[in-house]
């Protein structure tokens, strides 16, 4: 069990940080180790989701074997990791050394309290397991993939062979849970209800930290107050089964939770970042535009309609930015870079 937990921590913490390092280093606002860690973690997880979405849907179209999907994903992830690592050592090696030499930022009292509330939520998500009707489909689908080496070949309610709707096949988030289970040796159900939620809560906190950085810059007190009040709103926002807080605290293992509590808030963070850069007269780099594309793919992994929701969010924000700053190029590119994610929605409409 200890070995399995170590592997899980490596896959849920170390791997995303390694994948996201180049995106953190390419952000000129990242100057401290804390900011570097949260930025790397979030960006790396988005990239992993994007690669997994593309390769897994391809595997579903070509084969029903889960092992086939793993064999496609792992080499593709290794290629992406190699490219990103080369960029780090060629272009950002000196910047990485500078970040780790800088003195740590002071943490405000409010920030500490907000962080402790998130830690409390992570701990309680481990000990207070919660079952939901959707688990009968999503968690069972992940268990089926691990145990029978198939993907969407059986009805999870009765175990009979069936042809699943492409609504589920085009958003294979349960296969991500199955991948973690296969790599760690922890049963999918146990993994989904105990260890998995803490990683999603950590990702949500990391996104809120990045939002606070974009809104308040180096003002640690304002950032701390922002994190404190958002943590309070999340902890007491689970008043029904519908709000995003419920998905984060009670159904973190489901793709809808990742979409509502992590992916779409991160896309909002990117919009704030781009608007701030344009407001300050700075050039919006390829980094932000590329991350919009990756985020669209990650949203598609979480839900069939995720790609459409991400495009809707960008399409509503882009005209506002264009009107405020009297520039059309960047807003148009924002929409264009998010369009590839809609391919999975169109694929569902064609294959259903």
Q: Could you report the per-residue pLDDT of 276-292, keeping only the tens digit for each?
A: 888 888 888 888 899 99
Q: What is the pLDDT of residue 177?
A: 93
State the chain's mean pLDDT as an integer.
87
The total number of residues written for the chain in this structure = 352
- Yes or no: say if 142 and 175 are a contact pair by the CB < 8 Å rule: yes
| 36 pLDDT above the threshold of 80 | yes
The full 3-state SS of the chain, as one line of letters, equals: CHHHHHHHHHHHHHHHHHHHHHHHHCCCCCCCHHHHHHHHHHHHHHHHHHHHHHHHHHHHHHCCEHHHHHHHHHHHHHHHHHHHHHHHHHHCHHHHHHHHHCCCCCCCHHHHHHHHHHHHHHHHHHHCCCCCCCHHHHHHHHHHHHHHCECCCECCCCCCECCCCHHHHCCCHHHHHHHHHHHHCCCHHHHHHHHHHHHHHHHHHHHHHHHHHHHHCCCHHHHHHHHHHHHHHHHCCCCCCCCHHHHHHHCCCCHHHHHHHHHHHHHHHHHHHHHHHHHCCCCCCHHHHHHHHHHHHHHHHHCCCHHHHHHHHHHHHHHHHHHHHCCCHHHHHHHHHHHHHHHHHHHHHHHC
Query: What span, in angstroms and rounded, lies between the C-alpha atoms of 36 and 331?
Result: 27
| 147 pLDDT above the threshold of 80 | yes
Q: What is the pLDDT of residue 156?
A: 78
Q: Give the Cα-Cα-Cα angle 119, 123, 128 (nearest 5 degrees).
A: 140
Q: What is the pLDDT of residue 352?
A: 66
Q: Please report, in angstroms and rounded to a whole number, the separation of the first and last CA atoms in the chain.
A: 41
- Between residues 100 and 69, the one the model is more confident about: 69
* Arithmetic mean of pLDDT, 36-61: 93
Query: What span, in angstroms and rounded, lies between the C-alpha atoms of 328 and 317?
Result: 12
At a CB cut-off of 8 Å and minimum separation 6, what does 81 contact? 18, 19
218-248 tens-digit pLDDT = 788 899 899 999 988 888 887 777 777 777 8
Q: Which residue has the tokens 């605290």?
A: 249
* Arithmetic mean of pLDDT, 98-119: 83
* Arithmetic mean of pLDDT, 200-210: 92
The tokens for 319 are 């005209």
| 203 pLDDT above the threshold of 90 | yes
Query: Environment class of residue 78 by beta-carbon count within 10 Å: exposed (0-12), middle (13-18) or buried (19+)?
Result: exposed
Q: What band does 79 get if pLDDT is binned at 50, 70 and 90?
A: very high
| 131 pLDDT above the threshold of 80 | no
The tokens for 202 are 């950590």
The tokens for 286 are 């390829």
Phi, psi dihedral angles at 161 (to 5 degrees): -65, 140
323-343 tens-digit pLDDT = 998 888 898 999 999 998 888
Dihedral sign computed on CA atoms, order 48, 157, 58, 302: negative
- Yes or no: say if 314 and 263 are a contact pair by the CB < 8 Å rule: no
Q: What is the pLDDT of residue 255?
A: 87
| 134 pLDDT above the threshold of 80 | no
């Amino acid at each position: 069990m200890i070995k399995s937990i170590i592997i899980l921590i490596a896959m849920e913490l170390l791997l995303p940080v390694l994948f996201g390092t180049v995106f953190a280093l390419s952000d000129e606002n990242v100057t401290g180790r804390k900011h570097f860690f949260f930025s790397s973690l979030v960006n790396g997880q988005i990239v992993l989701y994007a690669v997994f979405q593309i390769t897994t849907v391809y595997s579903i179209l070509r084969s029903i074997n889960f092992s086939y999907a793993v064999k496609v994903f792992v080499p593709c992830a290794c290629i992406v990791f190699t490219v990103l690592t080369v960029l780090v050592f060629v272009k950002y090696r000196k910047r990485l050394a500078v970040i780790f030499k800088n003195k740590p930022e002071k943490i405000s009292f409010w920030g500490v309290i907000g962080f402790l509330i998130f830690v409390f939520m992570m701990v309680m998500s481990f000990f207070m397991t919660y079952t939901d009707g959707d688990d009968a489909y999503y968690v069972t689908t992940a268990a089926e993939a691990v145990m029978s080496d198939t993907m969407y070949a059986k009805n999870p309610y009765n175990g009979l062979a069936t042809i699943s709707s492409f609504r589920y096949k085009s958003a294979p988030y349960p296969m991500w849970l199955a991948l973690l289970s296969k790599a760690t040796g922890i049963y999918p159900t146990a993994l989904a209800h105990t260890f998995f939620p803490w990683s999603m809560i950590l990702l949500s906190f990391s996104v809120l930290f990045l939002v606070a950085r974009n809104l308040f810059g180096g003002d640690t007190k304002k950032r701390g107050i922002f994190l404190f009040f958002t943590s309070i709103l999340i902890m007491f926002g689970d008043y029904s089964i519908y709000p995003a807080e419920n998905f984060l605290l009670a159904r973190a293992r489901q793709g809808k939770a990742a979409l509502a509590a992590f992916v779409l808030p991160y896309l909002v963070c990117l919009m704030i970042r781009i608007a701030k850069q344009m407001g300050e007269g700075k050039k919006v780099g390829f980094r932000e535009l590329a991350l919009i594309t990756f985020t669209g793919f990650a949203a598609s992994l979480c839900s069939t309609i995720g790609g459409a929701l991400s495009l809707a969010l960008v399409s509503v924000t882009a005209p506002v930015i264009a009107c405020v700053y009297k520039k059309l190029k960047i807003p148009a590119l924002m929409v264009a870079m998010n369009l590839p994610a809609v391919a999975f929605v169109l694929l569902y409409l064609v294959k259903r």
